[in-house]
Amino acid sequence: MFAADRNLALELVRATEAAAMAAGRWMGRGDKNAVDGAAVNALRYILNTVSMSGVVVIGEGEKDEAPMLYNGEKLGAENAPEVDIAVDPIDGTRLTALGLAGAISVVAVSERGTMFNPKNIYYMNKLVVGPEAADVIDINLTPEENVARVAEAKGKALDDVTVVVLDRPRHEELKTRLRNVGARIKLIPDGDIGGALLTCKDRGGADLLMGIGGSPEAVITACAIKCLGGSMQCKLWPRNDEDIAESRKRGLDLDQVLTINDLVRGDNVFFAATGVTDGDFLKGVRYEGREIHTSSMVMRSRSGTIRFVDSIHMPKKLSELSKVSGIEYSTV
């Protein structure tokens, strides 16, 4: 159990800030592995200092056979509270490596046993909306019907509705159908956690996110959208016969609609994200010689609190941390 007044996300943001600062040094250098390695080291080190007893449910995962932040790894400095942890050290590793916009570092936490674990099913079909349209979506309906429902709920014309879609070949038909109905499309190269957050942005955001993306990212997205009051529906998307057979072996129903409460149960969810490169929600890391500036958002579902945190970090102080954590920070 959590102390009534304890917002764990205010502690988690130290980890996303550290990951963003470490990975941001590699922006535009073309090395995805270096970006990811720097973020993983920093995030893991700080999470191990947080007063919690956590188990990684969504991590670098089985898919990547990660040596750190792997699914099942235990993190934290205390025996309580007992929590599930979902991490994406960099949502947008390729974006960072190429110097493109929209990369963020993300951590989400909920009470132990409340997060869905997709295990071998690495992709889901997703439908995400903000609070105004939370009650009208149905992933079993056509894209056209969902766009029309959201447009009506938000008092918009169809050609004013904006849909976020990952730029992948598998979405060619979806894009054609959305264009035929008159919807606007915001294509994103990577980072559908950040893309989903746009559906909850008051101005300059988007109305829906549609399409197939990563299952681990779906669980993290559910944590964020629950904090923001939006809604989300998903269906597991097996890539091949092997995925289908494994799903049946585990007793998974590939036709089941997974709601936001299936992906993360309960209403005590914490979410922290820090910008790595400039995006629609958060600014990227700024290195200013004697200072490093970060921009973060911190949320808790139970209280409905959403905080935007702009922080100034001292590289000389952080260099002391780098000696024991393996995080590299330049000093002036």
Residues comprising the binding site for substrate?
A: 91-93, 123, 168-170, 190-192, 214
Q: Give the SS3 label for residue 78.
A: coil
Positive or negative CA dihedral for 185, 157, 179, 209?
Answer: positive
Partners of residue 124 on adjacent β-strands: 213, 236
Contacts of 146 (CB under 8 A, 6+ apart): 127, 137, 138, 139, 208, 210
Concatenated DSSP letters of 199-259: GG-SSS--SEEEEEEEHHHHHHHHHHHHHHT-EEEEEE---SHHHHHHHHHTT--TTPPEE
Question: CB of 257 within 8 A of CB of 140?
Answer: yes
The Cα 68–Cα 70 span in angstroms is 5
The Cα 102–Cα 178 span in angstroms is 23
Instruction: State which H helix or E strand residue 128 sits in.
Output: strand 123-129
Task: List residues forming the annotated binding site.
Answer: 36, 60, 88, 91-93, 123, 168-170, 190-192, 214, 217
Report which of 239, 227, 231, 235 is spatially closest to residue 209, judged by C-alpha positions: 231
Burial of 88 (0-12, 13-18, 19+ CB in 10 A): buried
Task: List residues forming the annotated binding site for Mn(2+).
Answer: 36, 60, 88, 91, 217
